[in-house]
Structure 1
Amino acid sequence: MGKFSDYWKHVAGAPAATPAPFAVRLSPGDVEATSPPALRSDDVRRRVESYGLSHVGAVRPGNEDHFIIASLQRSLEVRQTNLEDRGLLEPLCGPKAYLFAVADGVGGQEGGRLASGITLRTIVEYLSETVGSYHAVPAGREQAFLDPLRQAVQRAHERLLGTFGASQGGPATTLTIALLVWPQVFLVHIGDSRAYHFRAGALRRLTRDQTMGAYLVDQAAMSEQQAEQAGYNDVLSSAVGAPDMTPVVSAVTLERGDLLLLCTDGLTKHISEDRIAAVLARGTNAEVDCRELIELALADGARDNVTVVVSRALPA
């Protein structure tokens, strides 16, 4: 198969992996809302509202998806001072960045769940060690933010390889990360979990699926419909923990009122981009958006786990 790995998104009968001591386990239940309802900066100019939901779907016996929403901040907190210009201390206080990520495990129910959980935990561990550098994005310094994201992904990749090995069809995961350092969002993408940017009624996909189907379409070897019918859209060409992993990095600049959506393919297999845009255009709030998107996927059969994270840059 050349550059392609045999990573079918759901391998029937794949052996369960031995749980790792640092594996992340979700609480039982059909819907896990493991993020707080909102993350807001103390600085009104940087207000962000975020929410995430993950659902097992209508068919799968377990949930292999994980997501995380986090604020990154320095530890210094000013309690009292007689300094006249308190603004000088602002760079040392409060949230400096927001982290959003989704991961869809592959390689069997237990192995896939462990792979996605281990990956997100490793990402958080690494970024928390470098949080002091997240404050602003000087012109021409974007690489200083992309490099830590690449390094975090590489650490997660190596941890999965060390835990499960690099065998074909073993536990691995998709991964889509968004690091928001207002007003810029830095993205790292592996696999087919997507990121979208919504502004003024228009939805724009920020990622390209890393699947055999997408590759064949890009090479004009077949149409999108042919790739879908042949099942090639379910074969990953890149995944964290797989023999082939090719992170793609990018950046986008937000404006007040913009939305950022991260989701696993359990959403996009069932809901068209036009329907997603219609939900986001209602302008309610992040939690309502998440719940409505998942309900739409469930109404369409939800053959896969469904995970969505919505982040709104609140109007000034």
Structure 2
Amino acid sequence: MISMSTDVGNLRETNQDRVAYKKINDDELLCVLCDGMGGHKAGEVAAQMTCDYIMDHFEEHEELLSANDIKMWFTNLIMEANNAVYAKGSENEEYNGMGTTVVVAYLKGQQMYVSHVGDSRAYIFKNNVLTQLTVDDTLVNALLKGGYITEKQAIDHPQKNVLIQAVGVTDLLKVSFCELPADYEAFMMCSDGLYNSLSNEQMIAILAGEGNAKVKTEELIKQANIHGGYDNISVILLEGGEAHE
């Protein structure tokens, strides 16, 4: 079963997150989550454009015969969305500098494929363990990878939320990709509004609890608002490894 929800949170005036999913057939499912950024309504424009582009154009691919085919197609879609958002921002001063994160997940049979840009995340939950699949495109992670700071310093670093790349901001994007068997108990995509308000332990308690995907999605957002709600909060939750609604 799949469920998705998005919430403005406690502090923001508008919701700049966008979520969508599409059941292509009994064997295939596509999910997209975006977290927009930019003044006025620019962030939501970037997020909506990116989400719509990927959802609208995904099925235009030739036959995807391998994981590398899927990786190349994901990269192509995200780069095309990036170009469209960047062009709109360049043409309109109101939208200048707008951007968005993106996570794309594609379930095909018993395999899950994931790509992302930014700091929205994908996780799998299995055997009471929550594993992050994506690596946040943040300045702190770049400093950590380069050996300039320690993991302890990274936890409370003043620039831990500064992104080093986002869709629509630059024409030089590095799109991540991973492939995994769909043998998890749950697969989750979320914006930073969720994981910045809830600890891994709090998320695990909800994912391991009673109720279906819809109940758990609603509880994740409810608890994120109770424990902060500092940003928009979005969740897409797929229980089991099958494309059932």
| TM-score normalised per structure 1 | 0.71
Residue pairs, 1:91-240, within 5 angstroms: 95-130=26-61, 133=63, 141-165=66-90, 170-240=97-167
Residue pairs, 1:40-119, within 5 angstroms: 49-73=1-25, 95-119=26-50
d(CA) in 1 for partners of 2:210 and 2:72? 34
Q: Does 2:184 align with 1:250?
A: no
d(CA) in 1 for partners of 2:81 and 2:27? 23
d(CA) in 1 for partners of 2:206 and 2:191? 17
Question: Contact (CA 8 Å) 1:177, 1:189: kept in 2 or not?
Answer: yes
**In structure 2, do the counterparts of structure 1 residues 219 and 235 end up closer, same or farther at CA, with 3 Å as the change threshold?**
same
| Residue-pair matches, total | 239
**In structure 2, do the counterparts of structure 1 residues 109 and 195 end up closer, same or farther at CA, with 3 Å as the change threshold?**
farther
Structure 2 spans left out of the alignment, 5+ residues? none
Shift >6 Å, 4+ stretches: 166-169
Q: CA deviation at 1:145?
A: 1.9
d(CA) in 1 for partners of 2:45 and 2:108? 29
Which amino acid in 2 is paired with 1:209?
D
Question: Contact (CA 8 Å) 1:101, 1:120: kept in 2 or not?
Answer: yes
Structure 1 spans left out of the alignment, 5+ residues? 1-48, 74-94
Q: RCO (CA 8 Å, sep 6+): is it higher in 1 or 2?
A: 2
Question: Contact (CA 8 Å) 2:79, 2:173: kept in 1 or not?
Answer: no
Which digits, 9 at most, give the CA deviation of each residue in 1:229-259, with x for residues without a partner?
A: 443121111111112421111111112x621
d(CA) in 1 for partners of 2:201 and 2:180? 21
Percent identity between the two aligned chains = 26
For residue 20 of structure 1, what is the aligned residue in structure 2?
Answer: none
Q: Secondary structure at the match of 2:131?
A: strand
**In structure 2, do the counterparts of structure 1 residues 216 and 314 end up closer, same or farther at CA, with 3 Å as the change threshold?**
closer
Question: Contact (CA 8 Å) 1:107, 1:171: kept in 2 or not?
Answer: yes
d(CA) in 2 for partners of 1:71 and 1:222? 43
Which amino acid in 2 is paired with 1:287?
K
d(CA) in 2 for partners of 1:206 and 1:157? 22
Q: CA deviation at 1:192?
A: 0.3
| TM-score normalised per structure 2 | 0.90
